[in-house]
Amino acid sequence: MSIQAHHLARRYGRHWALRGISLTIQRGESVFLRGANGAGKTTLLRVLSTALQPSQGTLCLFGLDAQTHYHEIRQRLALITHHTHLYEALTAHENLVLLKNYGLILSTQELQSALARVNLKKHAHRPVSEFSAGMRRRLGLARMLLQKPELVLLDEPFGQLDVDGVQLQEEIITDFKQRGVTIIMSTHDHDRGYALCDRELWLDGGILRGATP
């Protein structure tokens, strides 16, 4: 089992962004998370990634308690959000080398092929501050590929990408599915969501309203 959540809730000040979320997601499942703006999709993904601590409830990922074993859990997941987690002053290549410097086991070849996969090889030595939003998303994808995750949390993964970028994203998601990676994806592009995922979760006002098998 990849994810087991019981009565998860998250509060920002007085506002409850999530309330009473209980869900179970099996290893290798791909889940489409849908809901209107402000429904709590981003907050849920950030809580599930352990980037945010829940205000209430319990969360287990890979059979480990997220509150106490978040170091081990984080080694096995990747989160893609509107924020690409990149340093603007560093080049694309340096941003990826940073993963290696911080202890991720990567070969130079893996690094080069990740850049090539997202079509940024010729821009490898340009600072990220010169990149368009779409190029940053692509670099974020390269970063995710290098992390070799078992669980991928994608928040609006098709946003800001051009046609080729969207196709690349779809290929990567399909590739992950074939390799048995668990995927949770929130998107307003319902057609793609239904096409790429096995089942859906519907969030409304921070509450899980429905789930289809």
The residue ranges that bind another protein (CB under 8 A) are 49-51, 53, 70-71, 74-75, 77-79, 81, 83-90, 94, 98-99, 101-104, 127, 136, 143, 147
Which pairing describes strands 30-34 and 182-186: parallel, antiparallel, or unpaired?
parallel
Query: 43 or 50: whose CB is closer to another protein?
Result: 50
Distance of closest approach, residue 57 Cβ to another protein, in angstroms = 17
- Rounded CA-CA distance 177/171 in Å is 10
Tokens of 81: 């959000």
> How big, in percent rounded to 5, are the helix, strand and coil portions of the chain?
35, 30, 35
* DSSP per position, 110-126: HHHHHHHHTT-GGGTTS
Query: 98 or 166: whose CB is closer to another protein?
Result: 98
Distance of closest approach, residue 85 Cβ to another protein, in angstroms = 3
Distance of closest approach, residue 74 Cβ to another protein, in angstroms = 4
Query: 64 or 98: whose CB is closer to another protein?
Result: 98
In this structure, how many other beta carbons lie within 10 angstroms of the beta carbon of residue 41?
A: 25
Q: Look at phi and psi of residue 156 and say left if phi exceeds 0, alpha if psi is from -120 to 50, else beta.
A: left
3-class secondary structure, 41: helix
Distance of closest approach, residue 209 Cβ to another protein, in angstroms = 28
Query: 94 or 189: whose CB is closer to another protein?
Result: 94
Query: 13 or 213: whose CB is closer to another protein?
Result: 13
- Rounded CA-CA distance 199/158 in Å is 19
Distance of closest approach, residue 168 Cβ to another protein, in angstroms = 20
Distance of closest approach, residue 200 Cβ to another protein, in angstroms = 25
Which pairing describes strands 151-155 and 77-80: parallel, antiparallel, or unpaired?
parallel
Query: 55 or 112: whose CB is closer to another protein?
Result: 55
